[in-house]
Structure 1
Amino acid sequence: MDSSNYKIYHEDDFDARKNLEEYFSDKPEMVFKDDNMKFPIEMLTKTFTDGHITGDILIELSVSSTIHYLYAACEFFNHIIVLKANDRCMMELKRWVDERTGAFEWDHAAKHHAELEGKSDQFQDKGGKVRSSLRHVMKCDLKNDNIVDPIPLPLADCIIIAWFFEFISKNQDEFENYLRKVSKLLKPGGHFIVLAILGGTYIMMGTDKFHIFNYDEDVVKKALIAEGFVIDDCQVKKRTAVSDLMDFKGILFIAAHKENISI
């Protein structure tokens, strides 16, 4: 299939539930546990427990309806605001937040996080903590300069971007533009955390191929620095999954902070 015919996450019919089952579940045949599940949880748990990233408001933007990295974040922020660019992903997340019948089960992620904390017997408390901190699930419009316009949001102490820019960006100019828009939601001196797929071009959703912007670690780092960020930590995990469902090379983790006011 010509890559120009690939579907786009926020423009086409991206099935959030299918994505969760295929790429984030606890099924024995799920080959992405280390790359998509364990690595993000471990990096974010370490980053937050180090103690220098905390505050009142956390804003999160991610593909699909993932919440597994919020198990670490909810211990350090009073209010979590989740922004979604896709209606189906927003509805699937709200199903979990409202504890509706048939909501996706995240206990495997909660268990792994609790084990890292040395509190494996308390994993069942994790979901309640995330739900009590998660105050808003809101639609964002990437076409607007202010992606949450017309709703006024307080600036965040921390923003987490997880598997997002590479799904919505068709080229480097769009990536840099979206990064600039999202960074405007951050307080001066605030922290910016990025989880990203490196070296990918597509992800399969059933018989459909969805586009992934192919970028590397240096492209992300240079774009952050250009927006006034100082990079505090950067880690790359090489791909371990063996599957034709995605064609990526690795997973990137970056923690940075905003050095100045100008954007």
Structure 2
Amino acid sequence: MDLSPSKLYRVDDFDSRQHLEHYLSDNPSMVFAEDTWIFPTEHLLKTFTEGHITGDILIELSVSSTIHHLYAACEFFNHIIMLKANDRCMMELKRWMDERTGAFEWDHAAKHHAELEGKSDQFQEKGGKVRSSLRHVMKCDLKNDNIVDPITLPPADCILITWFFEFISKNQDEFENYLRKVSKLLKPGGYLIVLAILDGTYIMIGKDKFHMFSYDEDVVKKALIAEGFVIDDRQVKKRTGVSDLTDYKSILFIAAHKEK
């Protein structure tokens, strides 16, 4: 058993490009597609459409430089603000935003989203739609009470959190504290959507082992309720991909709204 210490996403260098290649690409050898981009895409589109979740501002927090979940969000919100805790991830994301040579290719996710909408011939327009809605990519620091200090963001209609708390939290106290801080960015009555990796302790990025806070569904639900959220939808997907790159057990999707 490897007993070497794990690195922490918000502290140590995190190769976001390797993360995308290992866990979110369309490479036939990549075994995580069902969990990492197909399941999230389908449930986000369903939630935004059937739940009538829409508004002016959506704030997004996620690990790495992912944008596949924004194909759904950009159809329902005028302005998207992405917050990143890692400089290298911001650089990789801006490479895609600027359409620079060598940027990560997201056509596989765009095609899937367009097919779900019944608009498979329009998948190439998805990237442009996300870019036009994505107004700001900002650095955040979870140590601060205002995580984007010294800036004050307008209250969001919706906050979308994807594979985030498990990477930045060392333990349950930190997780609950970070959730509390992030929740302050949401307007009363606003929506919070969380995609979480459950019961995982590590993830490999290249040769580096990164820590994941191992929590279960009950921990997430109790923390949300304690912060005044009402859970509207909950889905759990058991892991399908077989690989020793990571040891998580399942994926959690929760949509909730903040009581006024």
Residue aligning to 1:116: 116
How far, CA to CA, are the matches of 1:155 and 1:102 in structure 2? 35
Residue aligning to 1:133: 133
How far, CA to CA, are the matches of 1:17 and 1:205 in structure 2? 9
Q: What SS does structure 2 have at the residue aligned with 1:27?
A: coil
1:61-76, aligned counterparts within 5 Å? 61-76=61-76
Residue aligning to 2:7: 7
Counting aligned pairs with the same residue, the percent is: 83
How far, CA to CA, are the matches of 1:81 and 1:98 in structure 2? 16
How far, CA to CA, are the matches of 2:235 and 2:23 in structure 1? 21
- How far off is 1:139 after superposition? 0.2
Runs of 4+ with deviation above 2 angstroms: none
Q: What SS does structure 1 have at the residue aligned with 2:187?
A: strand
- How far off is 1:37 after superposition? 1.1
- How far off is 1:207 after superposition? 1.4
- How far off is 1:2 after superposition? 2.9
How far, CA to CA, are the matches of 2:158 and 2:220 in structure 1? 18
- How far off is 1:51 after superposition? 4.5
Show CA shifts across 1:56-84 (max 9, x none): 00000000000101000000000000000
Show CA shifts across 1:93-136 (max 9, x none): 01101111110000000000000011100000100000000000
1:100-249, aligned counterparts within 5 Å? 100-249=100-249
Q: What SS does structure 2 have at the residue aligned with 1:230?
A: strand
In structure 2, give the amino acid aligned to 1:151: I
Residues 1:93 and 2:77 aligned together: no
Q: What SS does structure 1 have at the residue aligned with 2:28?
A: coil
Show CA shifts across 1:19-74 (max 9, x none): 00111001010000101010000000101111521000000000000010100000
How far, CA to CA, are the matches of 1:229 and 1:152 in structure 2? 23
How far, CA to CA, are the matches of 2:226 and 2:112 in structure 1? 36
- Measured on the aligned residues, the alpha-carbon RMSD in Å equals 0.7
How far, CA to CA, are the matches of 1:189 and 1:37 in structure 2? 28
Show CA shifts across 1:224-243 (max 9, x none): 00000000000000000000
Q: TM-score, with normalisation over the residues of structure 2? A: 0.98
Question: Quick one: structure 1 residues 216 and 51, their matched pair in 2 at CA, closer, same or farther if it must change by over 3 Å?
Answer: closer
Show CA shifts across 1:158-197 (max 9, x none): 0000000000000000000000000000000000000000
Q: What SS does structure 2 have at the residue aligned with 1:190?
A: strand
Show CA shifts across 1:198-229 (max 9, x none): 01000001111100000000000000000000
Q: TM-score, with normalisation over the residues of structure 1? A: 0.97
